[in-house]
Amino acid sequence: MCQLLGMNCATPTDINFSFRGFSQRAGITSDHSDGFGIAFFEDKACRLFVDNQSAVESPIADFIRDYPIKSRNVIAHIRKATQGKINLENSHPFVRELWGRQWIFAHNGDLHQFNPTLTGRFQPVGDTDSELAFCYLLDQLAQRFRQGHPTLQQIFDVLKEIAPKIAEHGTFNFFLSNGQALFSYATTKLHWIVREYPFKHARLIDLDMDIDFSTVTTSEDRVAVITTEPLTNNEIWQAFAPGEMILFKDGKILQQVLTTVQRLEMEKKDPSLVRKTKADPD
């Protein structure tokens, strides 16, 4: 399985503190060492850094830890391959353009017998079920909103309908962002925290490092951090309920809903959905 880290902020903020703790899990405090990726939005543009080396050993991850890229929407992923190849095209986050905006997606989980019909507009480059789920989500959005970019509320309403259906096939914790906001969904495990004025002190779990956020922020700042496992041990992190979808915008919750996730029983599975081969699940 993999781990996810997301950040959504009111003002452009660097993710260095959180990424330092998170990336320790890529071989030091945990064993998610089969590649990593991180995407930073700057307005509509997106910078994506991926590597098939671990976030502990990768020179690119080293560079990211030291270079404070300020962004309002960030998605990071560290990978532990359970099946499938450890190569660059299977590294999360994945990126596609839709309606003149970049969209980024990362997934933690394992989808079984998931074989949706795609129109061909978005096709996986690698062979993960994660990228296939991303292409399916965008395909559905593109088909339902042919006239152009819908509102965040409209997107949320479609996602809360589709995500539980994909989750019938397995664990489906994911982040999706178009640079305006961050959509998050958990079927098993995600945690979130919002840091805002008055900012306090935080201490990482995975590294002997702490920060007094009040010395590096202003009253305008507000930051939501969402991650698989809490990153600090002196703050209160909220756990997502199974099936919970949360839309973060400007560092706070804009929409929140609890969906019903039902796992498909084997006998109910449609044979046409069964994939003959299955690569890296997350």
Give the nearer residue to its own copies in terms of CB position, either 50 or 56. Answer: 50
Q: Which of 31, 70, 125, 214 binds its own copies (CB under 8 A)?
A: 125
| C-beta of 44 vs 263, nearer to its own copies | 44
Instruction: Map residues 201-230 to x or -, x wherever contact with its own copies holds by CB under 8 A.
Output: ------------------------------
Q: Which residue, 64 or 245, has its beta carbon nearer to its own copies?
A: 64
| Range 34-63, binding its own copies (CB under 8 A) | 42-45, 47-50, 59-60, 63
Stretch that binds its own copies, among 23-31, 84-92, 198-206, 213-221 (CB under 8 A): 84-92
- How many chain residues touch its own copies (CB under 8 A)? 31
Our CB check for its own copies shows the closer of 73 and 227 to be 73
| Minimum CB distance to its own copies smaller for 49 or for 183 | 49
Least distance between its own copies and beta carbon 145 (Å):
11
| Separation CA 4–CA 183 (nearest Å) | 13
**Smaller CB distance to its own copies: residue 145 or 213?**
145
Kindly tell me the sign of the dihedral angle through the C-alpha atoms of 249, 230, 187, 4.
positive
67 binds its own copies (CB under 8 A): yes
Contact partners, residue 106, CB within 8 Å, separation at least 6: 4, 6, 37, 75, 76, 77, 92, 93, 94, 130, 174, 175
Please select the residue that binds its own copies; options are 97, 161, 210, 212, rule is CB under 8 A: 97
Q: Is 9 a catalytic residue?
A: no
Phi and psi dihedrals of 197, rounded to 5?
A: -60, 135
Please classify residue 38 by burial: count the beta carbons closer than 10 Å to its beta carbon, then call 0-12 exposed, 13-18 middle and 19+ buried: buried
- Exposed/middle/buried for 252, CB within 10 Å: 0-12, 13-18, 19+? middle
Structure tokens at 164: 């539980």
Q: Which of 2, 9, 46, 135 is an active site residue? A: 2
Distance, CA of 152 to CA of 108 (rounded, Å): 23
List the x/- string, 145-184, binding to its own copies by CB under 8 A.
-x--------------------------------------
Catalytic positions are 2
* Site of interaction with its own copies (CB under 8 A): 42-45, 47-50, 59-60, 63, 67, 87-89, 91, 95-97, 99-102, 120-126, 146
